[in-house]
Each structure stands twice: as C-alpha cells, then as structure tokens.
C-alpha cells in the first residue's frame, strides 16, 4: 500500500500522516506514506500510489488539474480531496473522488473517510488476511503476482514483498478463494490479472517472469484464462 499526501501546509500534512498511519497500521503490515509540500507537477511519480490525499487549492498548482493529469496515466489511485474551500466540492466531482474532506470539519470528516475506506477495501478490493510471523497481515488480491510452493512452505510474491510461511499450495489457494488465482503446475499458481501472455506451455507475467505450465493443468487453466479475458 503506497499512500501520498499533496499539501503545501506542512503542519497539516504531518497531522494527516499520523492519522493515516494509525488507520493503515490496523489493515496492512507494509505500507508507505510520502508527503509532498512543493513542486507538485511530477505526475509520473504518483502513478503507482494506491491512495492519494490532495489539497485542491495549492499555492503552485490546482489539485483537480493534478488528478486529471494523473488519471490520464491510467492510475487506479483512490483520490481523497482535502480543502478549506467547500465551494470546490462540485468541481471536484469531474474526477470521481472517493471523498472530500473539509479542513474546518477535519476530525469528523476523517473518521468518516476511514470507515468508508475500510468498508471499500473489504468489499470492493478483495483483501487477503493471514498470519505472518505472529501478526495479522493483509494484502490486496490484485497485488499478488504468483504463489510458489517449497516443500511445506509457500511464498506469495506481490508488488512490494515476498511473504513466505508454512502452508501448502492447495490450502492457500482454497483460503484465498478466488478464480483469479489458478494453479498451473505442482509448485506454482499465478494471478490471471498479472499475466502478460501465454506462449505455448509457458506463462509470461507482466514483470517478464516465465512460469512453465504442467500438462495436466493446461486444459483447466486455459478455460479459466479465457473466461477471465472475456469477463
């Protein structure tokens, strides 16, 4: 989970960061929160962020314009506007934000945001929660690249980290309970969302990892993959 705060008010940014840390700490074991207080126009740097808090009325830039440019990069970031100027609420709707936090009503609005975000992550964005070194850990289903089995251990390979713990491939696939994760050989299961191409009996992932497919898994895999492509 990568979070970004864009606001030219440094004191407010730090307060918001502390509140966001408390919220994310109850959901994710790994996350980052960056603050930018100036030079806001490096849009490409924001593209991989999952959650962005942006002040609309920035001294150097217009927050809505920044978000529009970001969305042209096909970013899937959840956008939450923050502003002391409530008259911007309607103009912000053109970018379909998740919420609009009024700075003058910050305490109440931020509590509402966190309740809605938690519900959103649980229902809209499927989250996988498991025990990892004695602590509950959560990851997005969409962040999983593939899962590999090593004897009695499995490794879940994601965008930012590899989670290795004791389980079987069969058990973790059943635990995740999604048609997106498909077994392709005895030791590997892949995320259909992360496949770049299928070349014969080889599956090429978006990071160019190549995973050979087992013959006994080919038929079922191809059925599920075609269903995924047309869904």
Find the Cα–Cα–Cα–Cα dihedral 13, 120, 98, 142, rounded to 10°: 90
The structure tokens 């440094």 sit at 10
- Which pLDDT score, from 0 to 100, does residue 53 have? 96
pLDDT surpassing 80 at residue 75 = no
Residues 156-166 have a mean pLDDT of 89
Beta bridge partners of 52: 4, 79
Q: Between 38 and 131, name the one with better pLDDT.
A: 38
The domain segmentation of the chain, as residue ranges, is 2-123, 127-230
Please give the average per-residue pLDDT across 104-122, as a whole number: 90
Q: What is the CA radius of gyration of the chain?
A: 20
With bands split at pLDDT 50, 70 and 90, how would you rate the model's confidence at 3?
A: very high
CA distance 164 to 134: 13
Question: According to the model, what pLDDT value does residue 124 have?
Answer: 60
Q: Residue range 155-177: average pLDDT? A: 90
- Look up the CATH superfamily of 127-230: LytTr DNA-binding domain (2.40.50.1020)
Q: What is the mean pLDDT of the chain?
A: 88
Segment holding 136, helix H or strand E = strand 135-140
- pTM (whole model) above 0.75: no
Task: Return the percentage of the chain with pLDDT > 70, whole number.
Answer: 97
Q: How confident is the model at residue 9 (pLDDT cuts 50, 70, 90)?
A: very high
Domain 2-123 fold is Rossmann fold (3.40.50)
pLDDT band at 186 (very low <50, low <70, confident <90, very high): very high
Pairing of strands 32-36, 195-199: unpaired
Tell me, what's the pLDDT at 231?
A: 67
Average pLDDT over residues 66-90: 84
Does position 129 have pLDDT exceeding 90, yes or no?
Answer: no
Angstrom distances, CA of residue 191 to CA of 47, 114, 146, 150, 221? 22, 29, 6, 18, 11
Compute φ and ψ for 9, nearest 5 degrees: -95, 105
C-alpha 178/C-alpha 191 separation (Å) is: 10
C-alpha 178/C-alpha 189 separation (Å) is 12
The residue that leads in pLDDT, 29 or 135, is 135
- Per residue in 172-183, pLDDT (tens digit) is 999 998 889 999
- Of 127, 109, 219, the residue nearest 175 (C-alpha): 127
pLDDT score of 6: 92
Indicate if the pLDDT at residue 66 is higher than 70: yes
Q: Which band of pLDDT confidence, cut at 50, 70 and 90, is reported for residue 12?
A: very high
**In the predicted model, is pLDDT for residue 99 greater than 80?**
yes
- Does the pLDDT of residue 157 top 90, yes or no? yes
N- to C-terminal Cα distance for the chain? 26
């Amino acid at each position: 989970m990568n979070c970004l705060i864009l606001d030219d008010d440094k004191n407010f940014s730090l307060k918001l960061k502390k509140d966001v840390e408390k919220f994310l700490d109850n959901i994710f074991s790994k996350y980052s929160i960056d603050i930018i207080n100036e030079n806001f126009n490096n849009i490409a740097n924001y593209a991989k962020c999952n959650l962005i808090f942006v002040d609309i009325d920035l001294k150097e830039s217009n927050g809505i314009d920044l978000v529009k440019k970001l969305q042209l990069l096909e970013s899937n970031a959840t956008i939450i506007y923050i502003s002391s100027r409530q008259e911007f609420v309607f103009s912000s709707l053109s970018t379909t934000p998740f919420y609009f936090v009024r700075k003058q009503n910050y305490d109440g609005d931020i509590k509402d945001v966190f309740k809605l975000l938690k519900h959103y992550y649980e229902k809209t964005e499927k989250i996988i929660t498991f025990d990892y070194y004695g602590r509950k850990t959560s990851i997005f289903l969409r962040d999983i690249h593939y899962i590999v089995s090593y004897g009695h251990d499995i490794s879940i390979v994601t965008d930012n980290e590899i989670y290795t713990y004791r389980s079987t491939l069969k058990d973790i696939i059943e635990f995740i309970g999604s048609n997106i994760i498909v077994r392709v050989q005895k030791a590997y299961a892949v995320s259909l969302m992360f496949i770049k191409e299928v070349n014969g009996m080889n599956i090429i992932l978006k990071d160019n990892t190549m995973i050979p497919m087992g013959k006994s898994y080919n038929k079922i895999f191809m059925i599920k993959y075609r269903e995924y492509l047309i869904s």
